[in-house]
Amino acid sequence: MKKYFIVLAAMTVIAACNSNSGSSSDSSTAAAAPESSDATAAVPAANDISSNPDYQAGLKLVATNDCLTCHKVDEKVTGPAYRDVANKYENTDANVKMLAEKVIKGGSGNWGTVAMTPHPNVSQADAETMVKYILLLRNK
Ligand code: HEC
């Protein structure tokens, strides 16, 4: 996938150089141009996680529960950094459910010997919303 974008980016550069030189003889380059601009337009939208409703709702719940006493986004505290959690687990329904259950029941052994305290007062739905927010932080 990454390679595909690099190729498209290279094609965009080549297309830009050709149009700057004023040469209109290469029709194959011109045909590829709309495809490249579509691909580049999709990148910022996919990276803009803060407008995602799961992100906003999950962040609010994480902030109003005790999560941030042990977790930070980019830094290991008592618990793993949320970004490390996001990079470890793919954002699938099965993983969201599994991690939400761990938030409620507590967990240990995946990040070291320190255990996460159980959160019996958190509903499964709220726990899933928080996990969805966490998994959106993936950057690898
Ligand atoms: C007392 C400290 C503490 C609090 C409070 C806490 N956590 Fe954790 N959390 C941990 C530790 C420690 C781990 C690593 C457990 C392990 O190694 O399996 C962890 C792991 C996790 C994981 C990854 C689980 C896995 O199996 O990889 C998620 C997701 C998570 N926490 C979310 C939350 C959320 C959401 C809250 C708030 C409702 C929260 N945590 C509150 C300490 C805490």
Q: Does domain 50-135 have CATH number 1.10.760.10?
A: yes
Handedness of CA 46, 94, 61, 80 (dihedral sign): negative
What are 18-55's pLDDT values in tens digits? 444 444 444 444 444 444 445 454 445 556 888 999 99
Q: How confident is the model at residue 60 (pLDDT cuts 50, 70, 90)?
A: very high
Which of 116, 117, 126 best tests ligand 1's pocket when mutated (most atoms within 8 Å of CB)?
116
Cα–Cα distance between 21 and 88 in angstroms, integer? Answer: 47
Q: In angstroms, what is the span from residue 54 Cα to ligand 1's centroid?
A: 19
Distance from the alpha carbon of residue 116 to the mean position of ligand 1, in angstroms: 5
Q: Could you tell me if the CB of 132 is within 6 A of ligand 1?
A: no
Higher pLDDT, 80 or 41: 80
| Distance (Å, whole) CA 4 – CA 8 | 6
Distance from residue 48's CA to the centre of ligand 1 (Å): 25
Q: Is residue 138 within 8 Å of residue 91, measured between CB atoms?
A: yes
Rounding to the nearest 10 degrees, give the CA dihedral for residues 24, 26, 27, 31. Answer: -100
Residue nearest to atom 37 of ligand 1 (CA): 67
68-105 burial code (b ≥16 CB/10 A, e <16): eeebeeeeeeebbbbbbbbeebeeeeeebeebbebbbe
Give the pLDDT band (50/70/90) at residue 65. very high
What pTM was estimated for this model as a whole? 0.74
For residues 114 and 79, the answer to whether their CB atoms sit within 8 Å is yes
Domain boundaries, the chain: 2-47, 50-135
pLDDT tens across 87-123, in order? Answer: 999 999 999 999 999 999 999 999 999 999 999 999 9
Q: What would you measure as the largest C-alpha separation in the chain, in angstroms?
A: 69
Please name the residue that has the structure tokens 């150089």: 17
CB of 87 closer than 8 Å to CB of 139: yes
Q: Decide: 69 in ligand 1 pocket, CB within 6 A.
A: yes
**Quick one: which of 132, 96, 102 has its CA closest to 117?**
102
Q: Is 134 in the pocket of ligand 1 (CB under 6 A)?
A: yes
pLDDT of residue 36: 46
